[in-house]
Amino acid sequence: MKRTFVMTGFLLFFLTVFYTTTVLPQIKIGYVDKDVVIKQLPDYKKVEETYQGIAKLYSDTLQSKESELKTKAETFKKRYEEAQKMVETGQIKSEAEIKKLSDEIADLQKELQGLDEGYTLYKQKAQSELMAKQSELLKPLVEKMVKSIEAIAKELKINLVLNKSDDVVIYGDKDLDITFKVLDKLK
Protein backbone atom coordinates (compact mmCIF):
# COMPACT_ATOMS: atom_id res chain seq x y z
CA MET A 1 0.00 0.00 0.00
CA LYS A 2 2.79 2.35 0.95
CA ARG A 3 4.65 1.43 -2.21
CA THR A 4 1.57 2.15 -4.35
CA PHE A 5 1.16 5.54 -2.70
CA VAL A 6 4.83 6.43 -3.34
CA MET A 7 4.60 5.24 -6.96
CA THR A 8 1.43 7.28 -7.52
CA GLY A 9 3.10 10.38 -6.02
CA PHE A 10 6.18 9.87 -8.18
CA LEU A 11 4.03 9.40 -11.29
CA LEU A 12 2.04 12.59 -10.54
CA PHE A 13 5.25 14.55 -9.95
CA PHE A 14 6.77 13.25 -13.21
CA LEU A 15 3.64 14.06 -15.22
CA THR A 16 3.42 17.57 -13.73
CA VAL A 17 7.05 18.35 -14.53
CA PHE A 18 6.76 16.85 -18.02
CA TYR A 19 3.49 18.71 -18.73
CA THR A 20 4.72 22.14 -17.60
CA THR A 21 8.04 21.93 -19.45
CA THR A 22 6.86 20.46 -22.73
CA VAL A 23 3.16 21.11 -23.19
CA LEU A 24 2.73 24.62 -21.75
CA PRO A 25 4.41 27.28 -23.85
CA GLN A 26 7.18 29.30 -22.28
CA ILE A 27 6.21 32.94 -21.97
CA LYS A 28 8.90 35.53 -22.55
CA ILE A 29 8.29 38.94 -21.06
CA GLY A 30 10.07 42.20 -21.76
CA TYR A 31 9.59 45.72 -20.54
CA VAL A 32 10.17 49.20 -21.86
CA ASP A 33 10.26 52.65 -20.29
CA LYS A 34 7.71 54.44 -22.45
CA ASP A 35 8.55 57.87 -21.04
CA VAL A 36 12.26 57.51 -21.81
CA VAL A 37 11.52 56.44 -25.37
CA ILE A 38 8.99 59.22 -26.05
CA LYS A 39 11.24 61.94 -24.64
CA GLN A 40 14.17 60.77 -26.77
CA LEU A 41 12.26 60.95 -30.06
CA PRO A 42 13.30 63.84 -32.33
CA ASP A 43 9.68 65.03 -32.74
CA TYR A 44 9.14 65.18 -28.98
CA LYS A 45 10.79 68.59 -28.61
CA LYS A 46 8.39 70.10 -31.16
CA VAL A 47 5.40 68.48 -29.43
CA GLU A 48 6.57 69.76 -26.04
CA GLU A 49 7.08 73.29 -27.38
CA THR A 50 3.59 73.30 -28.91
CA TYR A 51 2.09 72.00 -25.68
CA GLN A 52 3.96 74.56 -23.55
CA GLY A 53 2.76 77.37 -25.84
CA ILE A 54 -0.85 76.31 -25.42
CA ALA A 55 -0.38 75.86 -21.67
CA LYS A 56 1.07 79.38 -21.43
CA LEU A 57 -2.02 80.84 -23.09
CA TYR A 58 -4.24 79.13 -20.54
CA SER A 59 -1.92 80.16 -17.72
CA ASP A 60 -1.91 83.80 -18.81
CA THR A 61 -5.70 83.84 -19.02
CA LEU A 62 -5.97 82.22 -15.59
CA GLN A 63 -3.61 84.82 -14.11
CA SER A 64 -5.66 87.61 -15.65
CA LYS A 65 -8.90 86.15 -14.26
CA GLU A 66 -7.29 85.63 -10.86
CA SER A 67 -6.03 89.23 -10.81
CA GLU A 68 -9.49 90.51 -11.70
CA LEU A 69 -10.99 88.34 -8.96
CA LYS A 70 -8.52 89.67 -6.36
CA THR A 71 -9.19 93.27 -7.39
CA LYS A 72 -12.95 92.76 -7.10
CA ALA A 73 -12.51 91.06 -3.71
CA GLU A 74 -10.47 94.01 -2.45
CA THR A 75 -13.07 96.46 -3.79
CA PHE A 76 -15.84 94.48 -2.12
CA LYS A 77 -14.00 94.34 1.19
CA LYS A 78 -13.20 98.06 1.11
CA ARG A 79 -16.76 99.05 0.17
CA TYR A 80 -18.23 96.71 2.83
CA GLU A 81 -15.99 98.20 5.54
CA GLU A 82 -16.88 101.74 4.41
CA ALA A 83 -20.59 100.92 4.52
CA GLN A 84 -20.28 99.36 7.93
CA LYS A 85 -18.44 102.42 9.24
CA MET A 86 -21.02 104.77 7.74
CA VAL A 87 -23.86 102.91 9.47
CA GLU A 88 -21.98 102.69 12.80
CA THR A 89 -21.05 106.38 12.83
CA GLY A 90 -24.56 107.44 11.91
CA GLN A 91 -23.65 108.98 8.53
CA ILE A 92 -26.46 106.90 7.04
CA LYS A 93 -29.65 106.96 9.00
CA SER A 94 -32.66 106.54 6.76
CA GLU A 95 -34.03 103.15 5.78
CA ALA A 96 -33.82 104.12 2.09
CA GLU A 97 -30.10 104.90 2.33
CA ILE A 98 -29.40 101.69 4.26
CA LYS A 99 -31.40 99.69 1.67
CA LYS A 100 -29.50 101.35 -1.19
CA LEU A 101 -26.16 100.58 0.48
CA SER A 102 -27.24 97.01 1.25
CA ASP A 103 -28.28 96.49 -2.39
CA GLU A 104 -24.94 97.87 -3.60
CA ILE A 105 -23.04 95.47 -1.32
CA ALA A 106 -25.26 92.54 -2.43
CA ASP A 107 -24.61 93.38 -6.10
CA LEU A 108 -20.85 93.50 -5.49
CA GLN A 109 -21.04 90.17 -3.69
CA LYS A 110 -22.99 88.56 -6.56
CA GLU A 111 -20.48 89.90 -9.06
CA LEU A 112 -17.61 88.53 -6.96
CA GLN A 113 -19.27 85.12 -6.71
CA GLY A 114 -19.87 85.08 -10.46
CA LEU A 115 -16.21 85.88 -11.14
CA ASP A 116 -15.11 83.17 -8.71
CA GLU A 117 -17.36 80.58 -10.35
CA GLY A 118 -16.16 81.65 -13.79
CA TYR A 119 -12.54 81.35 -12.70
CA THR A 120 -13.10 77.88 -11.23
CA LEU A 121 -14.95 76.65 -14.34
CA TYR A 122 -12.29 78.05 -16.67
CA LYS A 123 -9.52 76.43 -14.62
CA GLN A 124 -11.25 73.03 -14.80
CA LYS A 125 -11.90 73.46 -18.52
CA ALA A 126 -8.27 74.46 -19.13
CA GLN A 127 -6.95 71.40 -17.28
CA SER A 128 -9.27 69.09 -19.21
CA GLU A 129 -8.44 70.66 -22.58
CA LEU A 130 -4.70 70.58 -21.85
CA MET A 131 -4.86 66.87 -21.06
CA ALA A 132 -6.78 66.21 -24.28
CA LYS A 133 -4.35 68.34 -26.31
CA GLN A 134 -1.35 66.56 -24.80
CA SER A 135 -2.83 63.18 -25.75
CA GLU A 136 -3.58 64.45 -29.26
CA LEU A 137 -0.05 65.79 -29.73
CA LEU A 138 1.61 62.64 -28.38
CA LYS A 139 -0.60 60.20 -30.30
CA PRO A 140 1.60 59.98 -33.44
CA LEU A 141 4.72 59.48 -31.30
CA VAL A 142 3.04 56.78 -29.22
CA GLU A 143 1.82 54.99 -32.35
CA LYS A 144 5.33 55.08 -33.82
CA MET A 145 6.79 53.75 -30.56
CA VAL A 146 4.21 50.95 -30.33
CA LYS A 147 5.03 49.79 -33.88
CA SER A 148 8.72 49.64 -32.96
CA ILE A 149 7.96 47.75 -29.76
CA GLU A 150 5.86 45.25 -31.70
CA ALA A 151 8.65 44.73 -34.24
CA ILE A 152 11.29 44.20 -31.55
CA ALA A 153 9.00 41.91 -29.56
CA LYS A 154 8.47 39.74 -32.63
CA GLU A 155 12.18 39.78 -33.45
CA LEU A 156 13.14 38.73 -29.91
CA LYS A 157 10.14 36.37 -29.62
CA ILE A 158 8.79 38.27 -26.63
CA ASN A 159 5.20 37.39 -25.78
CA LEU A 160 4.43 40.31 -23.49
CA VAL A 161 5.93 43.81 -23.10
CA LEU A 162 5.18 45.82 -19.97
CA ASN A 163 5.58 49.56 -19.45
CA LYS A 164 8.17 50.29 -16.80
CA SER A 165 7.21 53.96 -16.37
CA ASP A 166 3.71 53.08 -15.13
CA ASP A 167 5.28 51.15 -12.24
CA VAL A 168 3.83 47.95 -13.64
CA VAL A 169 7.21 46.24 -13.44
CA ILE A 170 8.21 45.50 -9.88
CA TYR A 171 11.26 43.53 -10.91
CA GLY A 172 12.76 43.01 -14.30
CA ASP A 173 15.94 41.35 -15.46
CA LYS A 174 18.01 43.96 -17.29
CA ASP A 175 18.26 41.58 -20.25
CA LEU A 176 14.50 41.90 -20.75
CA ASP A 177 14.55 45.72 -20.91
CA ILE A 178 14.07 46.65 -24.57
CA THR A 179 13.88 50.44 -24.05
CA PHE A 180 17.15 51.18 -25.85
CA LYS A 181 16.44 48.68 -28.63
CA VAL A 182 13.21 50.59 -29.27
CA LEU A 183 15.14 53.87 -29.30
CA ASP A 184 17.68 52.42 -31.75
CA LYS A 185 14.90 51.15 -34.02
CA LEU A 186 13.25 54.58 -34.04
CA LYS A 187 16.45 56.38 -35.05
Segment 19-74, tens digit of pLDDT: 555 545 688 888 899 999 999 999 999 999 999 999 999 999 999 999 999 999 99
Confidence tier at 119 by pLDDT (50, 70, 90): very high
CA dihedral 11, 13, 19, 25 (to 10 degrees): -170
pLDDT at res. 172: 63
Reference 101, options 112, 88, 114; nearest CA is 88
pLDDT at res. 49: 96
pLDDT at res. 25: 62
pLDDT at res. 134: 96
As a whole number of angstroms, the distance between CA 90 and CA 84 comes to: 10
pLDDT at res. 6: 43
pLDDT at res. 10: 46
Domain edges within the chain? 25-186
- Model confidence at 117: pLDDT above 90: yes
- Cα–Cα separations (whole angstroms), residue 131 to 44, 70, 108, 166: 16, 27, 35, 17
pTM of the prediction? 0.68
- Model confidence at 78: pLDDT above 70: yes
- Model confidence at 148: pLDDT above 80: yes
What pLDDT, in 10s, does the model give residues 84-110? 888 888 888 888 888 888 899 899 999
